[in-house]
């Protein structure tokens, strides 16, 4: 029997999914599990998008252009213009989810063994894509005490080696919810230009910013056009996770023409998803006002509730719909498993993501969890109550 | 300005697409171009599938399970049963097109630098996926004189090195249309077992077989369960290329659990495409009878027409909707470009794929072209007439 690849053996399993068997077991025992572990929003997809799909009058579901349906790319120009981002259709490769945009960026810009610096904690699947492409992730520390702000320039400088080829950020951040300021991005620009690096920016949560804070895009930085690669997705923006549509954007023609070769190999992004995504750009602003108000309330519930729990800390969050909280626990993997296996409060419990999965440095995140506030306000309050009660009785409480 | 990766530089551009600018130019000059260069069928998607999409009543387009919607995988069990293939939902990973199934198979089973033997000519994108995953393709010769039959065992034995990890076939074959016999597959089984290799089989054209010939699947081979990885797709079967739904199937649990890790990293296959593909399995047999009769006629037109042209040879084709023909030309790349740039017959011309793009050995395929018979009978006859007239006046005729 032939053995699988070493790459396959080393490939990390999803830290978000590894507790699923335990939550399935809990449900079988009749326990209600509040899922705060996943990034699947409960928000409805805009009605105009679903209507558009129902009106599909195609006769043949053909391959689209490998770089995406031209009319969709044109429509994206209009979308980005609203954020003062001036891009052309030929500067875009429509991808199968933001996931593929990340993979294309890594494959196009970095060779196996080359390094990408990412402040940790970071979106766990960056590990998977770097493993797939042979790229080495060099994590640098960001800290819960600073709300996970951008590490100082000195820390970047120390991490840069001759093999460093790129820096990657997620803004607003998954898992921390941190929103990078314009000043922080200007600092990044200096490092990137000084060392001639690519800057990959995952901005899929662009619209999800709170307290009236502005979102500043890497595409708005001046003089760094040739270094910047924007990675984007419709998944969270329009609650279209299953459409699997993202985009890679760069003013660097070599990057786009190289990404196109990877795009041609997989033929095309999904047609139905592109139809949905093109229509999604017509979604009325009112939809976002309602959604944002909802997330704003949820964020307040999570951050305020946790900070009221004894020994807990959750920095305020500027964007996205995640927060990382520090809890008085011995081990977040054990704690999250125990919540499903060994605890319930009035027949209810909560499923969280251990933050260890979002760090690549062993040992970090051991007393932290990621909370996705993707439940309605009442369920969210109930789940915070569960967490509070759980912490009172958890055997591994510190 | 940072430079792109060496991998990106080495990544081959699509041989099918590289002539597109020339066909665009020809169209601008008012010339009608018959496209026999691409694998995009003109056949309508089954009506029940399109109806199903129009009846979508989802409120949130969520991520599906990373291995595919459970009801779709159950339905696939039913589909494969019709071919005497006994598989379980947990032996499947639903993928984003057959493309992703190939990539997952390579990433899961082969490490960078390990070798996969593929009879050439082969589907050009296997090169792209091997480049992406760092896998080395070792082509072995199949010949137009034999109709591109499986090379003899001796040739496989000579190609096997300590780094060989897999053999890959496409059955029926793209680009040759060759249908492997049961006897050939039994030979492959012996080699695979003797050298403990994986056997990847791309069977996306399973239904497209002619002259009443049977299709024998690698999944029907006995005693080779742990070696076989089936790669499949709905694209051609139901004219659902744009749905981007494929599947990787193996009885080898390590392969499936490893592929699942790659699948989790990219979250999920497209939801709309899976809904369409699940319904597609209900497509009445009548649909295939009509489609197959149509392709049968087309095949006869192509094969007969070409064999009547002076100095030309096209082996008869057992399946798929491709044929490779040998023409009396100096260089197929030049010839195919000239057809678009320098020739027309009554304002019409034909676009073919140079076969060079389907060989990885330099120089092979230089007097061969791939013809996809994806046009209706009348257009196909007109395009054969164009080819005949073109060969009479082509300056590089041998």
CB atoms inside a 10 Å sphere around CB A115: 21
- Specify if B65 maps to a domain: yes
Q: Chain B: nearest CA to A278, how far in angstroms? A: 15
**Residue B314 pLDDT greater than 80, yes or no:** yes
3-state SS of chain B: helix, strand, coil percent to 5? Answer: 40, 15, 40
A91 — pLDDT class (breaks 50, 70, 90): very high
Chain B residues close to A70, C-beta within 8 Å: none
**CA-to-CA distance for A271 and A278, rounded, in angstroms?**
11
B351 — pLDDT class (breaks 50, 70, 90): very high
**Residue A15 pLDDT greater than 80, yes or no:** no
**CA-to-CA distance for A234 and A203, rounded, in angstroms?**
11
Chain centroid, CA A142 distance in Å: 16
CB A240 within 8 A of CB A258: no
State how many domains chain B has. 2
User: Which of B262, B280, B298 is at the close of a domain?
Assistant: B280
Whether B228 and B323 map to the same domain: the answer is no
A205 — pLDDT class (breaks 50, 70, 90): very high
The DSSP call for residue B207 is T
The two structure tokens encoding residue B194: 């003797």
CB B329 within 8 A of CB B398: yes
- Specify if A255 maps to a domain: yes
Whether B368 and B229 map to the same domain: the answer is no
- Specify if B398 maps to a domain: no
Whether A57 and A26 map to the same domain: the answer is no
pTM of the predicted structure, to 2 decimals = 0.96
Q: How many residues would you count in chain A? A: 398
**CA-to-CA distance for B281 and B141, rounded, in angstroms?**
36
User: B54 and A54: CB-CB below 8 Å?
Assistant: yes
Whether B128 and B184 map to the same domain: the answer is yes
Residue B3 touches chain A, beta carbons under 8 Å? yes
Encode A132-154: b = buried (16+ Cβ within 10 Å), e = exposed: bbbbbbbbbebebeebbbbbeee
Instruction: State in Å, rounded, how far the first CA of chain B is from the last one.
Output: 47
**CA-to-CA distance for A278 and A72, rounded, in angstroms?**
5
pLDDT at A247: 98
Residue B160 touches chain A, beta carbons under 8 Å? no
The two structure tokens encoding residue A307: 């900070």
CB atoms inside a 10 Å sphere around CB B32: 16
- Specify if A1 maps to a domain: no
**CA-to-CA distance for B320 and B323, rounded, in angstroms?**
9
The two structure tokens encoding residue B223: 């005693």
The two structure tokens encoding residue B234: 């709905």
Whether A186 and A315 map to the same domain: the answer is no
User: A262 and B128: CB-CB below 8 Å?
Assistant: yes
Q: What stretch of H or E contains B285?
A: helix B285-308
CB atoms inside a 10 Å sphere around CB A169: 21
CB A336 within 8 A of CB A19: yes
CATH number for A316: 3.90.1150.10
Report the mean per-residue pLDDT for chain B.
96
A359 — pLDDT class (breaks 50, 70, 90): very high
A92 — pLDDT class (breaks 50, 70, 90): very high
Strands (E), chain B: 32-35, 92-95, 115-120, 136-141, 164-170, 198-202, 228-233, 246-249, 322-326, 348-351, 353-354, 368-372
Chain centroid, CA B218 distance in Å: 16
User: A114 and B5: CB-CB below 8 Å?
Assistant: yes
User: A128 and B196: CB-CB below 8 Å?
Assistant: no
The DSSP call for residue B3 is P
Of A9-18, A363-372, B48-57, B262-271, the poorest mean pLDDT is in A9-18
User: Which of B232, B249, B280 is at the close of a domain?
Assistant: B280
Residue A103 touches chain B, beta carbons under 8 Å? yes
Q: What stretch of H or E contains A166?
A: strand A164-170
Averaged pLDDT, B289-315: 96
Residue B255 touches chain A, beta carbons under 8 Å? yes
For residue B156, the enclosing domain spans 47-280
**CA-to-CA distance for A209 and A318, rounded, in angstroms?**
6
Whether B198 and B272 map to the same domain: the answer is yes
Encode B149-174: b = buried (16+ Cβ within 10 Å), e = exposed: bbbeeeebeebbeeebbbbbbbbbbb
Whether B215 and B318 map to the same domain: the answer is no
Whether A275 and A290 map to the same domain: the answer is no
Encode B59-98: b = buried (16+ Cβ within 10 Å), e = exposed: ebbbbbbbbbbeebbebbbebbeebebebebebbbbbbbb
**CA-to-CA distance for A261 and B127, rounded, in angstroms?**
11
Among the residues of chain A, which ranges form H helices? Answer: 6-10, 20-28, 47-54, 70-81, 97-109, 125-133, 153-159, 182-195, 253-265, 271-280, 285-308, 332-341, 377-393
**CA-to-CA distance for B154 and A52, rounded, in angstroms?**
57
Chain B residues close to A198, C-beta within 8 Å: 2
Question: Apex CA A156: angle with CA A225 and CA B8, to 5°?
Answer: 50
CB B350 within 8 A of CB B34: yes
User: Which of A280, A301, A322 is at the close of a domain?
Assistant: A280
- Specify if A200 maps to a domain: yes
Query: A162: Cβ–Cβ under 8 A, 6 or more apart, which residues?
Result: none
Sheet holding A322-326: strands in order across? A322-326, A368-372, A353-354
Q: Best residue in B102, B130, B270 to probe A by mutation, most A CBs within 10 Å?
A: B270
Task: Say whether A181 sits in a helix, a strand or coil.
Answer: coil
Percent of chain B surpassing pLDDT 90 = 95
B2 → closest Cβ in A40, A111, A165: A165
- Specify if B1 maps to a domain: no
Q: Which residues pair with B139 in a beta bridge?
A: B118
**CA-to-CA distance for A76 and A91, rounded, in angstroms?**
11
Task: Say whether B313 sits in a helix, a strand or coil.
Answer: strand
Averaged pLDDT, A183-207: 97
Whether B300 and B250 map to the same domain: the answer is no
Query: A269: Cβ–Cβ under 8 A, 6 or more apart, which residues?
Result: A64, A68, A94, A95, A96, A100, A244, A245, A263, B244
CB B316 within 8 A of CB B303: yes
Residue A125 touches chain B, beta carbons under 8 Å? yes
Q: What are phi and psi of A131, to 5 degrees?
A: -60, -45
**Residue A366 pLDDT greater than 90, yes or no:** yes
Q: Tokens 């080898």 correspond to what residue?
A: B252
Residue A241 touches chain B, beta carbons under 8 Å? yes
Q: Tokens 């019709």 correspond to what residue?
A: B82
pLDDT at B323: 96
**CA-to-CA distance for B228 and B216, rounded, in angstroms?**
14
Averaged pLDDT, A52-79: 95
Chain B residues close to A12, C-beta within 8 Å: 261
Instruction: Compute and round to an integer the Cα radius of gyration of chain A.
Output: 21
CB A176 within 8 A of CB A121: yes
The two structure tokens encoding residue A330: 């011995």
Q: Tokens 């392709």 correspond to what residue?
A: B295
pLDDT at A135: 96
**CA-to-CA distance for B331 and B344, rounded, in angstroms?**
19
Residue B52 touches chain A, beta carbons under 8 Å? no
pLDDT at A12: 87
**CA-to-CA distance for A29 and A51, rounded, in angstroms?**
39
3-state SS of chain A: helix, strand, coil percent to 5? Answer: 40, 15, 40
Whether A213 and A332 map to the same domain: the answer is no
Query: A342: Cβ–Cβ under 8 A, 6 or more apart, which residues?
Result: none
A129 → closest Cβ in B9, B12, B265: B265
pLDDT at B240: 96
**CA-to-CA distance for A221 and A192, rounded, in angstroms?**
12
- Specify if A225 maps to a domain: yes
Whether B151 and B235 map to the same domain: the answer is yes
pLDDT digits (tens, 9 = 90+) for A127-167: 999 999 999 999 999 999 999 999 999 999 999 999 999 99
Q: What are phi and psi of B340, to 5 degrees?
A: -90, -35
pLDDT at B192: 97
CATH number for A60: 3.40.640.10
Whether A273 and A302 map to the same domain: the answer is no
Q: Of A64, A68, A102, A265, give the one whose Cα is nearest residue B12.
A: A265
CB atoms inside a 10 Å sphere around CB A48: 15
pLDDT at A121: 97
B13 — pLDDT class (breaks 50, 70, 90): confident
pLDDT at A240: 96
Q: Tokens 């704690």 correspond to what residue?
A: A335
Q: Best residue in A14, A270, A276 to probe B by mutation, most B CBs within 10 Å?
A: A270
User: A272 and B273: CB-CB below 8 Å?
Assistant: yes
Query: B343: Cβ–Cβ under 8 A, 6 or more apart, which residues?
Result: B349, B390, B393, B394
- Specify if A398 maps to a domain: no
Percent of chain A surpassing pLDDT 70 = 100
User: A261 and B197: CB-CB below 8 Å?
Assistant: no
């Amino acid at each position: 029997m032939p053995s699988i690849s070493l790459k396959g053996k080393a490939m990390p399993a999803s830290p978000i999914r590894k507790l699923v068997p335990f939550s399935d077991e809990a449900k079988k025992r009749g326990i209600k599990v509040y899922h705060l572990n996943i990034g699947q929003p409960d928000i409805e997809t805009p009605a105009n998008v679903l209507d558009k799909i129902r009106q599909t009058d195609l006769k043949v579901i053909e391959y689209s252009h490998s770089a995406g349906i031209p009319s969709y790319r044109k429509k994206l120009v209009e979308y980005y213009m609203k954020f003062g981002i001036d891009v052309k259709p030929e500067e875009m490769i429509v991808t199968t989810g933001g996931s593929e945009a990340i993979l294309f960026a890594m494959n196009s810009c970095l060779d196996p063994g080359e390094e990408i610096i990412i402040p940790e904690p970071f979106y766990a699947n960056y590990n998977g894509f770097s493993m797939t492409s042979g790229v080495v992730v060099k994590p640098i520390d960001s800290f819960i005490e600073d709300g996970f702000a951008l590490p100082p320039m000195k820390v970047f400088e120390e991490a840069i080696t001759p093999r460093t080829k790129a820096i990657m950020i997620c803004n607003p951040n998954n898992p921390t919810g941190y929103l990078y300021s314009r000043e922080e991005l200007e600092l990044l620009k200096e490092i990137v230009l000084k060392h001639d690096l690519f800057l990959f920016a995952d901005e899929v949560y662009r619209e999800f910013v709170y307290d009236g804070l502005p979102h500043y895009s890497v595409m708005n930085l001046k003089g760094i056009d040739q270094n910047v690669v924007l990675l984007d997705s419709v998944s969270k923006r329009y609650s279209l996770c299953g459409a699997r549509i993202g985009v890679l954007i760069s003013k660097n023609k070599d990057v786009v023409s190289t990404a196109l070769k990877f795009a041609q190999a997989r033929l095309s992004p999904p047609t139905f998803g592109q139809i949905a995504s093109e229509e999604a750009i017509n979604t009325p602003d009112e939809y976002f006002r309602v959604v944002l108000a909802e997330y704003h309330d949820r964020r307040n519930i999570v951050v305020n509730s946790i900070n009221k729990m004894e020994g807990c800390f959750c920095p305020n969050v500027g964007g996205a719909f995640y927060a990382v909280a520090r809890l008085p626990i011995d081990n977040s993997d054990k704690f999250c498993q125990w919540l499903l296996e060994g605890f319930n409060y009035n027949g209810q419990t909560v499923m969280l993501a251990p933050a260890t999965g979002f760090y690549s440095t062993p040992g970090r995140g051991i007393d932290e969890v990621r909370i996705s506030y993707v439940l309605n306000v009442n369920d969210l309050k109930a789940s915070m109550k569960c967490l509070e009660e759980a912490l009172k009785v958890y055997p591994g409480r510190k």
